[in-house]
């Protein structure tokens, strides 16, 4: 391979990506919006809260980390809203923690895990755990040529055909918005996005990770059936603990599968 005058050998971006994909995965960052969703995993993996986190002192973000098998695992939660004391759900905190986590931890892989509403018309049932094929927004309607597609912001998750086959995971598209309810405008956009699951963070995490070319997978446990007959918040609260436990089981299987593998094995 010819060398440039600056001394660097001429390695194409594709070669570089190939090298990255063929290196064993060592650092995984989980982005999890609610600490209740994260706690079973924190316990199971025996992760420890980092009291000297690399994040600015002003933020409420909470970092847990530790080694699990050969993997250096971090879980980052956006933490409690400093005024209201509730979990900082939604796309804005999710984007911020994803950005900061990429800068601080330089992960090989990001996993956004959490709960979601599911559509029974698309085959979803309570406590299903989906691996997401693509994520898009449903509350960024901009009816201006070009900006319409920017608003939708559809991006593919990192493809994991072997993982899906081995763990027999359900696969579906995700639609993300900053509201838990579903007014008619959102419903139309979610249908256009062909979504099976609906959450409040996924597409934002993928947006940030895509900027830095960090492969991202998303795992979503269904707490409520959006096209069912129960009020969403009631069904969500009723199922949160059980679905979080189910999600923790699936996530553990996913990590066990990833351990010792390269991105190209997934």
Q: Please give the positions annotated as active site.
A: 37, 224
Using rule CB under 6 A, residue 218 touches ligand ADE? no
Per rule CB under 6 A, is residue 117 in the interface with ligand ADE?
yes
**Interacting span for ligand ADE (CB under 6 A) from 8-16, 99-107, 145-153, 196-204:** 196-204
DSSP 163: H
**According to the binding rule CB under 6 A, does residue 37 interact with ligand ADE?**
no
3-class state of residue 139 by DSSP: coil
Exposure on the CB side of residue 16, measured as CA atoms within 13 A: 6
* Among the listed residues 108, 128, 186, 224, the single contact to ligand ADE using CB under 6 A: 224
Segment interacting with ligand ADE, rule: CB under 6 A, options 24-32, 111-119, 165-173, 210-218: 111-119
Q: Is the four-CA dihedral 229, 231, 233, 237 of positive or negative sign? A: negative
- Cα four-point dihedral sign 84, 86, 92, 98: positive
199 lies in the site for ligand ADE, by CB under 6 A: yes
Bridge partners (DSSP) of residue 89 are none
Q: Which residue is nearest to ligand ADE (CB)?
A: 117
In this structure, the strands spanning 129-137 and 48-49 are unpaired
Beta bridge partners of 67: 72
**Exposure string (b/e) for 115-149, b if CB count within 10 Å is 16 or more?**
bbbbbeebebebebbbbbbbbbbbbbeeeeeeeee
Query: Least Å distance between CB 251 and ligand ADE?
Result: 16
Is 198 one of the binding residues for ligand ADE (CB under 6 A)? Answer: yes
Query: Which residues in the 127-186 window bind ligand ADE by CB under 6 A?
Result: 180
Q: Is 72 in the site for ligand ADE (CB under 6 A)?
A: no
- Using DSSP's 3-state secondary structure scheme, residue 157 falls into coil
Task: Give the span between the Cα atoms of 265 and 242, in whole angstroms.
Answer: 31
Instruction: For the CB of residue 163, give the shortest distance to ligand ADE in the complex, in Å.
Output: 23
| Residue 232 interacts with ligand ADE (CB under 6 A): yes or no | yes
Binding status of residue 200 toward ligand ADE by CB under 6 A: yes
Q: Which residues bind ligand ADE (CB under 6 A)?
A: 115-117, 180, 198-200, 223-224, 226, 232, 236
């Amino acid at each position: 391979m010819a060398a440039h005058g600056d001394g660097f050998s001429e390695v194409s971006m594709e070669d570089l990506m190939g090298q990255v994909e063929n290196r064993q995965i060592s650092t995984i960052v989980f982005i999890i919006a609610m600490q209740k969703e994260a706690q079973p995993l924190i316990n199971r993996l025996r992760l420890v809260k980092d009291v000297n986190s690399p994040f600015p002192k002003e933020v409420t973000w909470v970092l847990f980390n530790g080694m699990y098998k050969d993997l250096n695992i971090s879980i980052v939660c956006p933490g409690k809203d400093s005024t209201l004391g509730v979990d900082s759900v939604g796309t804005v905190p999710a984007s911020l923690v994803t950005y900061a986590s990429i800068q601080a931890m330089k992960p090989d892989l990001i996993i956004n895990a959490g709960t979601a509403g599911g559509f029974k018309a698309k085959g979803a049932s309570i406590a299903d755990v989906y691996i997401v094929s693509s994520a898009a927004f449903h509350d960024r309607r901009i009816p201006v040529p070009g900006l319409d597609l920017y608003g939708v912001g559809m991006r593919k998750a990192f493809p994991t055909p072997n993982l899906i086959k081995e763990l027999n995971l359900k696969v579906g598209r995700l639609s993300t918005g900053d509201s838990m309810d579903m007014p008619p405008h959102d419903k139309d956009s979610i249908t256009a996005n062909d979504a099976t699951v609906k959450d409040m963070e996924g597409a934002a995490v993928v947006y940030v990770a895509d900027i830095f070319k960090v492969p991202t997978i998303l795992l979503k446990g269904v707490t409520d059936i959006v096209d069912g007959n129960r009020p969403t918040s009631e069904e969500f609260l009723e199922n949160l603990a059980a679905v979080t436990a189910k999600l923790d089981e699936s996530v553990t299987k996913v990590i066990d599968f990833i351990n010792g593998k390269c991105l190209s094995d997934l």
